A and B are shown apart, each in its own frame.
Chain A
Amino acid sequence: GDSVTQMEGPVTLSEEAFLTINCTYTATGYPSLFWYVQYPGEGLQLLLKATKADDKGSNKGFEATYRKETTSFHLEKGSVQVSDSAVYFCALSDRDSNYQLIWGAGTKLIIKP
């Protein structure tokens, strides 16, 4: 079945550092890919999405490109801030699974001033 694998955390960076959180997937169909963010004590927010190969999702300085050849959707940000500290979840959905979300385990990001 479909699955999502993302890098384990916590990931600890200094403010203004470059961020990459790796996400790879396996899917039999043509999934849509998502990044969600969960700030402490809050619900999950959709951060960005991509629906087909080579699409780039972007929001709040974060970017991720749908790479079908490497089955990846890595999250990047050029200069992180303390306020980016949160848990980041990669997920996919496709028509074959009735658009149920398949989740990665989440990566906790800690940004130090």
Chain B
Amino acid sequence: DAGITQSPRHKVTETGTPVTLRCHQTENHRYMYWYRQDPGHGLRLIHYSYGVKDTDKGEVSDGYSVSRSKTEDFLLTLESATSSQTSVYFCAIRDSGNQPQHFGDGTRLSIL
């Protein structure tokens, strides 16, 4: 299994609070991704990174920011959480070139 750890695995918080999710990899892969998964919407890309300090937006980036200060860590921040951000969040990593993405176990986030 790819060395990907997401933390926390579960979180319940209130509307308006900041939330940070962490993705940690031990594979030294260049690319890292954050997705959200919701019933009826499948997987949607939030942000991705193609190197340290290099990030870009995905299709549903509003309300989210990311940071990557080290190769192994990719943080997803909800500055002011809203109930619409209740979801399961997955991190993925990919080596360079035409390689598949490998996924973490997910974080279940509930915003009340």
Q: How large is the interface on B (under 10, 10 to 19, 20 to 34, 35 or more residues)?
A: 10 to 19
- B residues lining the A interface (CB < 8 Å): 31, 42-43, 45, 48, 90, 92, 94, 97-106
Which residues on A sit within 8 Å (CB–CB) of B103? 36, 43-45
Which residues on A sit within 8 Å (CB–CB) of B42? 89, 103-106
Which residues on A sit within 8 Å (CB–CB) of B106? 42-43
Instruction: Report the minimal beta-carbon distance from B4 to chain A, rounded to whole angstroms.
Output: 8
Contact in complex: B100, A46 (CB < 8 Å): yes
Does chain B have a CB within 8 A of A99? yes
Q: How large is the interface on A (under 10, 10 to 19, 20 to 34, 35 or more residues)?
A: 20 to 34
Question: Would you list which residues of chain A between 35 and 55 have a CB under 8 Å from chain B?
Answer: 36, 42-46, 49, 51
Question: Would you list which residues of chain A between 45 and 70 have a CB under 8 Å from chain B?
Answer: 45-46, 49, 51
Contact in complex: B98, A101 (CB < 8 Å): no
Contact in complex: B43, A51 (CB < 8 Å): no
**A32, A42, A43, A51 — most chain B CB neighbours (10 Å):** A43
**B94, B103, B105 — most chain A CB neighbours (10 Å):** B103
- A residues lining the B interface (CB < 8 Å): 32, 34, 36, 42-46, 49, 51, 89, 93, 95, 99-101, 103-106
Residue among B90, B94, B98 making CB contact with A44, cutoff 8 Å? B90
| CB<8 Å pairs between A and B, sample of 21 | A32-B100, A34-B100, A43-B90, A43-B103, A43-B105, A44-B92, A44-B103, A45-B103, A46-B100, A46-B102, A89-B42, A89-B43, A95-B98, A99-B31, A99-B99, A100-B45, A100-B48, A101-B45, A101-B101, A103-B43, A105-B42
Contact in complex: B105, A42 (CB < 8 Å): yes
A36 CA to B103 CA, complexed, in Å: 10
Instruction: Report the minimal beta-carbon distance from B95 to chain A, rounded to whole angstroms.
Output: 10
Residue among B98, B102, B104 making CB contact with A32, cutoff 8 Å? B98
Contact in complex: A93, B43 (CB < 8 Å): no
Contact in complex: A93, B98 (CB < 8 Å): yes
A101 CA to B102 CA, complexed, in Å: 11
Which residue from chain B places its CB closest to the CB of A31 in the assembled complex? B98
Which residue from chain B places its CB closest to the CB of A105 in the assembled complex? B42
Contact in complex: A49, B90 (CB < 8 Å): no
